[in-house]
Amino acid sequence: MQEQLMRCFILTYFYFIFLCYKKNSILVGVCNISNVRRTSGPPPAGYPLFLFCLLKTAVVFLIIKVFFYQNSFVSQNQENIFKIKRKKKAIKLKNPSMTDNQYEVCTLLYWIQKIFATTMFISLLTWIFGHGGGVGWQDEPQLEFNFHPMFMSFAFIFINGEAITLYRGCRYVAKKRTKAAHGILQFTGFILASFGLKAAFDSHNYAKPPIPNLYSFHSWMGISTFSLFILQFLGGFLTYALPYASMDLRKKAMPYHRLGGILILLLTLTSAMLGYSEKAAWAFKCWTVQKEFCPILFFGNVFAFSMVCYVITVFLIVIQPEWIRKPLPGEGPLPVNDDDFVHED
């Protein structure tokens, strides 16, 4: 069932990307890709949108690869037992985590999380490229600003959320693989967030007249969250990526690392909601001033609502202590209780 759902998700996703790249195509009936402006000449219409979708495809491919590796791992162990040797005796190790159904709710939430992520980005791209004028470069700072919500939400909401839930969504994958994927996702998020910050500063510095930087509460929250993210990333890299930290230190630091990741995600959501409310109050006035239907505000609200729901599903997945990924055979010390073994004569 999971493989069928994943295949449907893959086919739908790539069909969506095909619509994004095809010139003059309509994205979900409202997003005209030809609205993307050429501000520097060389990039063709739809080029920034295609690059953004291509980048999201790379992240989705990474998650899919880990997911299918998990399925192949489980399918190769249909008996749900692992043979090991201990004290020169043939022993079978019970693996109750693969025989019961305690992770069904976790798996369901993991799929709901993907649905909210897809909704979030369809509404975001429809808002920016369908009704927001597209994106631009430094000679059009108002359009360059549109890179800011794209990159920041992609980096700090989607990528960060996927990296946080990766261990629990792909619990049967070897830890070294999920650990590498976790680090790659977080580093990618850092790079994209840096570009998103640059777009925000450029939109102020190149405006005529220039707009002051860091004057709003949203900007204060954003810079603070970005700084905490850097500290969290450096702490995780020094503690878990490099081989210098002792195992005892890693175990003691893990609860704080998990707590820091959740807090940063919640701070990111708070900053994003402040920024969207600020943007909606200043720019999306057709429902309040002009008293008429406003598609850009509608899709912006859908984007913000789906982003909140996405973070809620991430939070529900990670707060359950019984859903913490347990070590696979060979990743940790062997169990010592006789109840964990079935001896073969």
Mean pLDDT of 277-296: 79
- Collapsing DSSP to helix, strand or coil, 91 comes out as strand
Residue 55, pLDDT > 70, answer: no
Give residue-wise pLDDT tens across range 67-114.
544 544 444 443 343 444 343 333 343 444 443 467 889 989 999 999
pLDDT at 38 over 80: no
Burial class (CB in 10 A: 0-12, 13-18, 19+), 318: buried
Taking residues 43-48, what's their average pLDDT? 43
Average pLDDT (50-78) is 51
Does residue 268 register a pLDDT over 90?
yes
Highest mean pLDDT among 50-54, 58-62, 121-125: 121-125
What per-residue string of b and e applies to 15-29 under the rule 16 or more CB within 10 Å gives b? ebbeebeeeeeebee
What pLDDT was estimated at residue 9? 54
Mean pLDDT of the region 292-317: 92
pTM of the predicted model, to two decimals?
0.73
CB-count burial class (<10 Å; 0-12, 13-18, 19+) for 173: buried
Share of the chain above pLDDT 70, in %: 66
Tell me the C-alpha distance between 10 and 300, whole Å. 25
pLDDT tens column, 130-176? 888 888 888 888 899 999 999 999 999 999 999 999 999 888 888 88
Overall average pLDDT of the 120-133 stretch: 90
- Domain 2-331: give its CATH code: 1.20.120.1770
| Contacts for 222 with CB less than 8 Å, ≥ 6 apart | 152, 197, 271, 275
For the cut 60, the answer to whether the pLDDT of residue 128 exceeds it is yes
List pLDDT tens digits, range 200-240.
999 999 988 999 999 999 999 999 999 999 999 999 999 99
Highest mean pLDDT among 2-6, 159-163, 325-329: 159-163
pLDDT score for 213: 93
Please give the residue that has the higher pLDDT: either 214 or 295: 214
What's CA 188's distance to the chain center, in Å? 10
**C-beta atoms surrounding 164 within 10 Å:** 22
